[in-house]
Structures are given as structure tokens and as C-alpha cells.
Amino acid sequence: MTEIENSAALLSAHVTSLKGVGPVIAGALAKKGIETIDDLLYYAPIRWLDRGKVKRIGELEPGEEASVVARVDSYRSMFFRHARKKGFEVIVSDDTGYLSLKWFQWTKGYLQKICVKDSTLFLSGKVGVFNGNLQMVHPEVMVIGDDEDPGDARKIVPLYSQIDGVKQGFLRRIIGEAIKSLGISSAGVLSEETQKAYGLMTLNNAMWNIHTPSVEDFSRDVGEESIRRLILEEYLHFQITIMAKKKKMMKEAGISFKTGGPMEKAFMEGIGFELTQAQQRVIGQIRDDMSGRTPMNRLLQGDVGSGKTVCAAVAACIAIDNGFQVALMAPTEILAEQHYFNVHRWFDALGVPVVLLKGGLGSERKGVLEKIRTGATPVVIGTHAVIQQDVEFRKLGLVVIDEQHRFGVEQRKRLKDKSRLPDVLSMTATPIPRTLSMVIYGDLDVSVIDEMPAGRQKILTKVLADNEKEKAHKAIKEELGAGRGAFIVYPLVEESRQKELQDAVGMASYLQKNVFPAHNVGLLHGKMKTQDKEDVMNRFRQGKIDVLVCTTVIEVGIDVPGASVIVIENAERFGLSQLHQLRGRVGRGAHASRCLLVASTKRTNIATKRLKIMEKTTDGFVIAEEDLRLRGVGDMLGVRQTGLPQFRIGDIVSDVDIMIKARKIAEEMVANLSGHDIEKLLERIGDRFDDKKGFSHIA
């Protein structure tokens, strides 16, 4: 075996291959996601204890900030008379003296971890004196363990975040063992030259630095830089994986469409409005993609109403001009219906048949499928069922996907089975900061429509407390008086779905009876039959329903130009991006609109701050940035939905600069390596970031 293969084998070995690690310890480690030696080496210390800077208790001076290492002698709960409150005291010692640690408040379980007799603690805090005894009040504490090796003469010791069931000393020992057996052979994917070119230390050096820091030249900075090197390595693995896939797919011949055909021209001439600069730019990109021989895989991001669908329609025209069929998919039947409504208006004028493939077609279905099979129907609209089940296309050339961030491998494979690899255009109104989209959609080309069509109406947003509901009702009545429609939205949270559904149902009848007796109140929720939903939507569109009480089924895409006010109840439960989407349901017609966010009076400060952002801006990207900052990626996107890559180390928001660097390096590597070398590289990286684990977009 070569040195590289050797280290790869070692790294992928299970932790139980280390001396002293049996199933119990392995189980404890697994809870923290540590399964292999590699995982263990990525478990970076949260700080380093510099024994040279640690004082003995006998040397402590009152008033100074200091660190000590000491053992727990005793502990007790007590009443501090002078402070008139209950508290907790722990007495620790080393062989030079005693120190009292005091807490007046603490989180549950915190002291239990500390109060283990003879356990060794690393303490930092301000030294004080009380009744002649040295004390620290609310010191920073880290449990080093009770098996602190007195023979461990190392001056600098890594301190790891606590793992239940694994003691610090033991963890330190097995990590030390792992890194020693790794030796100095290269564990990373970068060649020496690349590391030099980018001024990087080797991965092995970084690992040695953080886990077994050398006495002479260790400083916090070295530690931090080493950790950043580990983060970079992992980000590299991710970027290389998706880029290699992308490169592979680029080789796959797609369809080279000719642009500028008669349908495309006729459509452009007939749309009846001026395209925005942003739309023109995006249409240009789509034309380039489609005429190229590699299959288009583009994501179109833009706020609700920014005019994404028009761009998609141009793409459809290009496909049709070239004799291909188009499939347009939406996440729900309601949305598919709405697309159908818009698209078939445009295409009827051009003489192009469009079909809506939905459930409940009954005996008609056979005929519809036949027309798709023979190619007589060039445009097919529906949910994902369109490319599944029994639908057979004659010549599918373009797939447009609305609001589907994840278009998985399986689905793509199905497409491939149906035809030559078609072009794919995805659309989303969930704006994601560019840097992050690079991470999440690393394998897609991303276009952004960052400009609204001229003449869009303003939406005035206001946050109300839930005891100010009258104001919301008054606003609704005003709009109704002017002949407009209103949405009232209730959140549905998975755990209490049933109860909240009842809320919406109950509220609808309450509002009808007590608040809007002179108007028609309708109800729309996800549990209703499709036909009933459509019915309600149509009646609302036609103004036969004035107030639509609904759950978030209206979140994406619903277009009711006559609606001019939306009230969102329990607004603090929604993410900002979601609120932004909901708000986009109004302001689509000719009238200025309002959005009222009703929040629980019990809401927290942070929730209020978040909601205030909605009052200040209607820019989806600004809102997304804030959402991201306040809630983190997972909450913002709903991790389960999008299946974010799981990194062992590093945070894709705060370490985004490292991700950008990783992308640059990976791009260069993948461009310069032969197919064979890339395969080898992928083998070493393993399947951590593979499609099967659920987030890449390319088959």
C-alpha cells in the first residue's frame, strides 16, 4: 500500500480499533457523530489549557483574573444570608490551599457535572475573598476529569467539549493514539504544491497542532489557524464531490437547442409589457444554457412577483420551437392549477396546447396521456407526478420546477429514462444569500432576479400585539369596503397540527358570525380535498369569498390580484423568509396593500426584533440574511426539507469565507485533474457528501 492509501485506510477505521475503546465508549462517541478515527481527529478542542499560565491556589491574589486546576473536595447547597438567596458552594483544592466556588444561579444539570468528588476542574475567574477565604463567584469551569494523568507533563493540554460517558483524560489519550498512528503521512486531499501556493499548513500539522500542541510555539492563534485548516479540508471534500459530479454531468450530451425561433419571437412580442433588466439578463443566460450541449441546470431565484414565470415561458418556447416537449412541475395541485391558468392564457394565443395533468381526470386521463405520448401536447403541467407514474413523453426537452429546492437524483434518473437528459430550470422565491446558495446549490448555476417590474404596489407592514386584533379587523373592513379581499393566516406546527387546524376552522366560523357578518368568510387548509380547495380558491379569486381564513397552504405562488390585506396570526412562529412569502400574496394587483403581523404579547425580544425587520424592508434578500443571522441555516431552510450537508466542524454561516476558499481551490483541482485522478480523489473522500445522503442536485 502507498502511504496515502495507508492513511486513508487508517482514517476510515472504526474507533473500536483503538486500544481501550469498546462498544460502550463507541456508543457514547457515536452520540456525538464520532464513528471513525477520522471523525475523532476532527473533534477539535474548544480551548487549550496552558499549564505555564495556570496558578497554584497558594499563589492567587485577590482581585486578579486567574486560572487554576484543582480537585473537588466537597460541595453543598446553602443559604447565603448576606445575599439573601440560596446558592451553591463547591470547595476545591490543590496541594497549596483551598478555594471556594460559589453560584447564585445555574442551569439545570450544570452543577451535577461539576460536583463529582475528586474530579479535576479547570477554573477561570476573578479571585475574591470572603470571611478570610479565597473564592471565585460564577467561575468558568471545565471538567478535566478524574483520571488526569499526573505523569502527563505536557505544558499545553487540549480541552474538549464534554462527551457524556467519556472522560476528558481518556478522550485525550485515544485522540493522541489516533494521531500518532496517523504519523506524518498525508491525510488531506491537497498536494504539497497546492498547499504551498495557498500558504496552508498540511492537514496533519493542523491535527498535531490542535490535539498535541507543542510547548515551544503553541499559541491560541496557531490553534485557531489549525482549526480553520480542518474546516477547509472538510469543505474541500464537499466542494470536490459536487464539482466532480458536475464535471461528469457536463460530459453527458444534452440537447443543443436553437434559439430565436418563431414561438420565442411571437411570445416576446405578445407579452404586453416591458421586461425588466433582470429578466432580460436571466433570459440571456437561459438562452446560452439551452443552446449549449451540456444540459442546463439552473436555479432562478427571485422574490414573489419578480417575474420568474415569464422567463420560464421563454425557455418553454425555445424547447417547443425545437420540437421538444416541456414539463412544468409545482409542489402542490393548487399551484399547478395556477400555473396552468397563467401559462395556458399565454400559450393559447400562440396556438400551443397545454394540459393540466391532475388527479381525478377519470376516463379522460387515458386520452390525455396518449396525447403526451404522441407529442400532440407540447406543454404538460402538474405536480411531481408528471415525471413519475405512467406518464410517457415523446420528446421531453425541458423541465421547469417551481418551488422545489431539492430535485433529487432519483427524479433526475427518471427523467433520463424518459428521454435524453433534458434541460432543467428550477425556480424559487425563497431568496438565499449568494454565499450560502453556493454551499447549498453548489452544483447549480444560479440566476437572481433582483428587480421588480415597474409600477408594483407598496405593501405597508405593521406588527401588532395580539390584544390589538381590533386594529387588524378594522383594516380588513376598510379593504373589504373598497371591494378587496383579505387573507387571515394561521400557522400550523407539526406537533399540534390537529389542534391548530381546529383553530383555523373555529376561527373561520367565529369571524363569520361575530366580526364580518356582512361578508363571506371562507376556509382553506391542507387537509381539504383538492376539488374543494380549488373551489374555494376560485371563489376567492372571483370575489365571492371576501375573507379567506387559511393555513399556510397559501404560502407559495397563489395569485389573487384583488386581495389587498393579509393578517398573519401568531406571526412570531414563522420564519422571516416564510412571512415574506406570505406577504407576497398581496400587492399583486393594482392596489396598495397591507400586511399585519399579529404576534403573541408573550413573544420574546428576539422575536420582536425579527418581526420589526418586516416593517422595515420588502427586500427578500435582506430578510433572508437577517433570518439566517438570527435563526441559523437549519431553521431558515428547514433542514429536513432541503437536507443540508452535515459538517463535523465549521459553521456554514460564520465560516463562509473558508467555504469560498474551498470552492476556489476545488474548482482549480477538478479542472486540472484527469478523470482517473478525480475518481481516486473521490474514493479517498468517500461518500460523506454523496447524493445518496440527500442534498446534491446532480445525478
CA nearest 96: which of 44, 55, 143?
Answer: 55
Residue 305 contacts which entry, Mg ion, ligand ADP, none (Cβ below 5-8 A, type-dependent): ligand ADP
- One-letter amino acid at 195 equals Q
| Min separation Cβ 620 and ligand ADP, Å | 11
Q: Distance between CA atoms of 656 and 647, rounded to whole angstroms? A: 13
Grid-cell match 387515458, residue found: 366
Q: Which residues 488-527 are close enough to bind ligand ADP by CB under 6 A?
A: none
Q: Within 13 Å, how many C-alpha atoms sit on residue 450's CB side?
A: 8
Which residue number, 166 or 429, has a Cβ lying nearer to ligand ADP?
429
Of 37, 190, 310, 486, the one binding ligand ADP (CB under 6 A) is 310
| Min separation Cβ 510 and ligand ADP, Å | 33
If you compute the radius of gyration of the chain from its CA atoms, what whole number of angstroms results?
31
Which residue number, 209 or 309, has a Cβ lying nearer to ligand ADP?
309
Q: Which residues bind Mg ion (CB under 5 A)?
A: 309, 557
Q: Is 166 helix (H, G, I), strand (E, B) or coil?
A: strand
Q: Which residues, at least 6 apart from 229, have a Cβ–Cβ distance to it below 8 Å?
A: 200, 201, 203, 205, 206
Residue 168 makes contact with ligand ADP by CB under 6 A = no
Q: Which residues, at least 6 apart from 453, have a Cβ–Cβ distance to it below 8 Å?
A: 273, 276, 305, 306, 307
Residue 453 contacts which entry, Mg ion, ligand ADP, none (Cβ below 5-8 A, type-dependent): ligand ADP
Which residue stretch of 224-232, 299-307, 365-373, 673-681 sits at the interface with ligand ADP (rule: CB under 6 A)? 299-307
Q: Which residues 567-596 are close enough to bind ligand ADP by CB under 6 A?
A: none
Q: Within 13 Å, how many C-alpha atoms sit on residue 480's CB side?
A: 22
Of 204, 276, 332, 581, the one binding ligand ADP (CB under 6 A) is 276
Residue 307 makes contact with ligand ADP by CB under 6 A = yes
Q: Distance between CA atoms of 260 and 14, rounded to whole angstroms? A: 58
Which residue number, 309 or 377, has a Cβ lying nearer to Mg ion?
309
Q: Got the DSSP string for 523-571?
A: EE-TTS-HHHHHHHHHHHHTTS-SEEEE-GGGSSS---TTEEEEEETTG
| Min separation Cβ 375 and ligand ADP, Å | 27
| Min separation Cβ 313 and ligand ADP, Å | 8
Of 135, 279, 322, 593, the one binding ligand ADP (CB under 6 A) is 279
Residue 15 makes contact with ligand ADP by CB under 6 A = no
Residue 447 makes contact with ligand ADP by CB under 6 A = no
Which residue number, 240 or 304, has a Cβ lying nearer to ligand ADP?
304
Which residue stretch of 34-42, 270-278, 414-422, 458-466 sits at the interface with ligand ADP (rule: CB under 6 A)? 270-278
Residue 302 makes contact with ligand ADP by CB under 6 A = yes
| Min separation Cβ 633 and Mg ion, Å | 25
Residue 642 contacts which entry, Mg ion, ligand ADP, none (Cβ below 5-8 A, type-dependent): none
Which residue stretch of 267-275, 328-336, 383-391, 618-626 sits at the interface with ligand ADP (rule: CB under 6 A)? 267-275
Residue 306 contacts which entry, Mg ion, ligand ADP, none (Cβ below 5-8 A, type-dependent): ligand ADP
Residue 309 makes contact with ligand ADP by CB under 6 A = yes
For residue 192, how many other CB atoms are within 10 A of its CB? 9
Q: Which residues 423-442 are close enough to bind ligand ADP by CB under 6 A?
A: 429
Which residue number, 261 or 305, has a Cβ lying nearer to ligand ADP?
305
Count of residues in contact with ligand ADP, rule CB under 6 A: 15
Of 87, 97, 453, 589, the one binding ligand ADP (CB under 6 A) is 453
Residue nearest to ligand ADP (CB): 307
Interhelix angle for 262-270 vs 308-321, to 10°? Answer: 150
Grid-cell match 510547548, residue found: 215
Q: Distance between CA atoms of 106 and 94, rounded to whole angstroms? A: 25
Give the H or E element holding residue 120. Answer: strand 120-130
| Min separation Cβ 458 and Mg ion, Å | 20
Strands (E), 378-520: 379-382, 396-402, 423-428, 445-449, 459-465, 485-489
Q: Within 13 Å, how many C-alpha atoms sit on residue 311's CB side?
A: 32
Which residue number, 429 or 614, has a Cβ lying nearer to ligand ADP?
429
Binding flags for ligand ADP, 176-195, as an x/- string (CB under 6 A) = --------------------
Q: Distance between CA atoms of 303 and 428, rounded to whole angstroms? A: 8
Q: Which residues 54-113 are close enough to bind ligand ADP by CB under 6 A?
A: none
| DSSP structural state of residue 693 | G
| 97-103/133-137 β-pairing | parallel
| 120-130/133-137 β-pairing | antiparallel
The footprint of ligand ADP (CB under 6 A) covers 273-276, 279, 302, 304-310, 429, 453
